[in-house]
Amino acid sequence: MSTIIKIFDTTLRDGEQSPGASMNTAEKIEIARQLVRLGVDVIEAGFPISSPGDFESVRKIGEEVGDAVVVCGLSRAIAKDIEAAADALKTAKRPRIHTGIGVSESHLKDKLKISRDEAVERAVAAVKLASSLVGDVEFYAEDAGRAEPAFLYRMVESVVKAGATVVNIPDTTGYTYPEEYGALIRGIRENVPGIEKVTISVHCHNDLGMATANALAGVRNGATQIECTVNGIGERAGNTAMEEVVMALRQRRAYFNADTIINAKELMRASRLVSSITGIMIQPNKAIVGANAFAHSSGIHQDGVLKERSTYEIIDPADVGAGGSSIILTARSGRHALKHRIAELGSDLPDAEFEKVYEAFLSLADKKKEVYDEDIEALISDKVRHLAEVYVLKNLRAESGTGVTPTATVELEVNGKTVKQTGHGDGPVDAVYRTIVAITGTKSRLDAYLVKGITGGTDAQGEVTVKVEEAGKKVAGHGADTDIIIASAKAYLNALNKLEYWKKGRPKNS
């Protein structure tokens, strides 16, 4: 039977220490609710003595989550810290005080300026005080990764005897490597009397990119709690990422003989929530939750995934709440990927017509980083359907500014005849669109309008995409120009031309 590894989430405490990631109480409560949905075992809600805001966050989160999860408050090995944590945790049905002290020579001599004996004395006193206030006390041996093992064993034995229920062995500076850190955990298990009665917890930082690997090495050597954060946020280079250790244990359950009770389908939701609230963007290639985690652009990979997802994906995207795999069409994509996307767009092209589109696709893909659905639809229209443009932009002039009513003069060629009209709107794009509506008489509705820069700089070409709907038919329009107003007009007219094409009847092979 697999060992169940407890997940101790410190997003709201250590994660908040990421520069710029400060959260208010309402935001912390929102994240705490999501952590409950995830099924974490412990929420470290804050450091109560550090500020009135942190005190209130711990208090309110304890009130909010009930008995669903252990709520933890951090403290130093200082009486007033511990008492503040206990006071803040009075609302929690399952409170835990997390107290501790530095154990490396660097921390003892340079930061604390105390002897080893004094450190042990302070640690024992802190644990005893905390134990008198709550029934669950976790002790952290700060900078254990750089501590002298024999002294670490002595410290852990002392706090276990004093009443600690959990001992946390942090690699505070991200200094160790998996073999070292695993050996450290194993050494504690083999050399500390009574250690079998308590939980060994791992808390790893990512300064050398080893946080996840070290945490898992700890599990392999007997740790049964992992301290982590959503998206791996935290001090400096961050902490162990929850999503990474959870899915590593789940995918390699037989190897680790361990798993968690985390509801992995909530991982993506949690990741996006934390990113949104903290303002810390998720790198595209981030494991499990990054935008590219289940995206494929290589033709070889695309061919394999389309035939059998597991050829290049060891995790089903749905298992982490990510929806599905995505095929990114680029110059490296092959026929299989393009044919698959064309089919998804509702077209079934004969081989001869597909080859025409494929050749045009390769030419376009050499010019663009990514080929979008709208580009493919345009290629099909151009190479197969020979879509005639009912509406052609001939000239455009737009005016706007402070104290000026936005005005647009639009000249279109409509079925071969030139029509010119002036209109007004709430802004230059709105004025252009209202004027186009007046000229064309369209009954469609604009559902979406998106602008993005194709290149950098103030002279960048802008790309506009619109979504337009009429009588249940939705189409996308695409336009690009260094003048974003002109790009907007092109995109809207492109969509209206597609609607006209659909109104006239869709060919059987499209």
Instruction: Give the tens place of pLDDT for each residue, 240-249.
Output: 999 999 999 9
Closest CA to 296 of 250, 251, 335, 330: 330
Per-residue confidence (pLDDT) for residue 508, from 0 to 100: 40
Extract the tokens encoding 238.
């961050």
Per-residue confidence (pLDDT) for residue 352, from 0 to 100: 83
How far is 410 from 394, CA to CA, in rounded Å? 8
What's the whole-model pTM score? 0.72
- Domain 3-278 in CATH 3.20.20.70: yes
Per-residue confidence (pLDDT) for residue 465, from 0 to 100: 87
Extract the tokens encoding 306.
């389309």
CATH number of this structure's domain 391-503, picked from the four choices 2.40.10.10, 3.20.20.370, 3.30.160.270, 3.40.50.10860 = 3.30.160.270
Buried b (16+ CB within 10 A) or exposed e, 285-312: ebebbbeebbebbbbebbbbbbeebeeb
Residue type, 125: A
> Cα torsion for 457, 459, 463, 464, to the nearest 10°?
110
Residue type, 361: F
**C-beta atoms surrounding 492 within 10 Å:** 27
Extract the tokens encoding 11.
């997003």
Q: Could you report how far apart the first and last alpha carbons of the chain are, in Å?
A: 55
Maximum distance among all alpha carbons in the chain? Answer: 95
CATH number listed for the domain at residues 296-385: 1.10.238
Extract the tokens encoding 410.
């639009």
Answer whether 3-278 and 296-385 agree in fold: no
CB 414 within 8 A of CB 422: no
How far is 72 from 271, CA to CA, in rounded Å? 21
Per-residue confidence (pLDDT) for residue 458, from 0 to 100: 53
How far is 45 from 48, CA to CA, in rounded Å? 9
Extract the tokens encoding 218.
């700890």
For the chain, the domains span 3-278, 296-385, 391-503
Residue type, 422: T
- Enumerate residue ranges in the chain where pLDDT < 50: 455, 506-510
List alpha helices for 163-266, DSSP H: 178-191, 211-220, 242-251, 253-256
